[in-house]
């Protein structure tokens, strides 16, 4: 078959300067590359049931496509080097059966 685009939504938590950048430049549906740690939380809902959520606590975020669809922009507290992950495709994983582990 033909390759189809797949959209996945994740709950991402940003703090400090990174949160300010996200608030200013991102909107729902924007493509981003996120690096961080997975955190699990639980709380008691209004109905008395225990609720669970999984979040990504972002350390680094790259806006894919930029404001005008141009190059990717990296946003992190102190680093400013740019990397473009917008050209990444699943073709890079095509030969994963050949890996020795």
In angstroms, the CA 15 to CA 77 distance is: 10
Q: Report the pLDDT value the prediction gives residue 41, as an integer from 0 to 100.
A: 95
Its pTM surpasses 0.75: no
Q: Report the pLDDT value the prediction gives residue 72, as an integer from 0 to 100.
A: 52
CATH code at 12-79: 2.40.50.140
Segments in 1-101 forming alpha helices (H)? 16-25
Q: What are the domain boundaries of the chain?
A: 12-79
Q: Report the pLDDT value the prediction gives residue 8, as an integer from 0 to 100.
A: 83
Q: Report the pLDDT value the prediction gives residue 68, as an integer from 0 to 100.
A: 53
Label residues 41-57 b or e (16+ Cβ within 10 Å = b). Answer: eeeeeeeeeeeeeeebe
In angstroms, the CA 25 to CA 64 distance is: 12
61, 22 contact by CB (below 8 A): yes
């Amino acid at each position: 078959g033909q390759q189809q685009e797949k959209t996945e939504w994740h709950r991402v938590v940003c703090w400090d300067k990174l949160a300010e950048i996200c608030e200013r430049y991102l909107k729902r549906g924007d493509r981003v590359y996120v690096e961080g740690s997975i955190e699990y939380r639980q709380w008691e809902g209004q109905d008395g049931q225990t609720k669970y959520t999984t979040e990504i606590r972002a350390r680094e975020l790259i806006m894919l496509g930029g404001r005008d669809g141009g190059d990717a922009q990296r946003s992190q507290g102190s680093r400013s080097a740019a990397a473009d992950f917008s050209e990444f495709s699943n073709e890079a994983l095509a030969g994963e059966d050949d890996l020795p582990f």
